[in-house]
Amino acid sequence: MFSGTSAFPLTPLRNDAVDERAFAGLIQRLAEAQVDSIAALGSTGAAAYLTVEERARVASLTVEHARGVPVIVGVSALRTSHVLTNVRSAERAGAQGLLLAPMSYQPLLDTDVFALFRSVVESTDLPVILYDNPTTTHFTFTDQLYARIAELPGIASIKVPGVPRDPDMALARVQEIKALVPEHVTIGVSGDAVAADGLLAGCDAWYSVVGGTLPDLATKITRLARSGRTDAARAESERLRPLWGLFGQVPWSGVTVS
């Protein structure tokens, strides 16, 4: 579940309410494409703008329409009590994993973030992805904090914000992170423009924005990269450079193009 293509779907809204029919259609498309997992209610899923009740409904819809594809649900919120409410909702919906990023109004300290992750893993048996997205959260994880949180029971994966485009530098960066965390903790790349680079450098998963709407494109790149077809994987990613360029114009996308 914490390797391969993890697709991050949008949460369509109509008249300031979740468009359940449109959302179900997106999830069904991901299931038909046989993505490795579906991660609802991340940044792509507009989770920060939804109420706990809306999020509970989205979690249920995701599991209902996933047709057996493993479902990961984002539980991040400004208040720890709301995070734990979201955890309970994800559990009741039948989610198989959780996605957690530190959210705040005032800047957070490393001790605050560690305490948040400890509170969550102590409250649930579901595995947790450490979601590092400094563009939206304005919190920057250090490698030391990665290592400390990864030692907590229940941490299954780290979603890193990207890797260098240079292959040698990308390889060194992925190896550097893997050396700091337990062997069972997978590393997933985000930032779709560098996903092929991350997978070829040894990342286990691609936590993918484009995979949430165009899953066939994402799964093709993932499978090429993970099967060692380096040139083909890079060619497929390069073919999508105009799309990556559009992503790069969106401030929260986390995508960089060089």
- What does residue 183 show for φ and ψ, rounded to 5 degrees? -60, -30
Q: Strand, helix or coil at 40?
A: strand
By the 10 Å C-beta count (0-12 exposed, 13-18 middle, 19+ buried), 114 is classed as middle
CB 7 within 8 A of CB 44: no
pLDDT of residue 251 exceeding 90? no
Structure tokens at 11: 């949460």
The 10s digit of each residue's pLDDT in 44-66 is 999 999 999 999 999 999 999 99
User: pLDDT tens digit string along 135-178?
Assistant: 899 999 999 999 999 999 999 999 999 999 999 999 999 999 99
The residues spanned by each domain of the chain are 4-247
Q: How confident is the model at residue 249 (pLDDT cuts 50, 70, 90)?
A: confident
Q: What CATH homologous superfamily does 4-247 map to?
A: Aldolase class I (3.20.20.70)
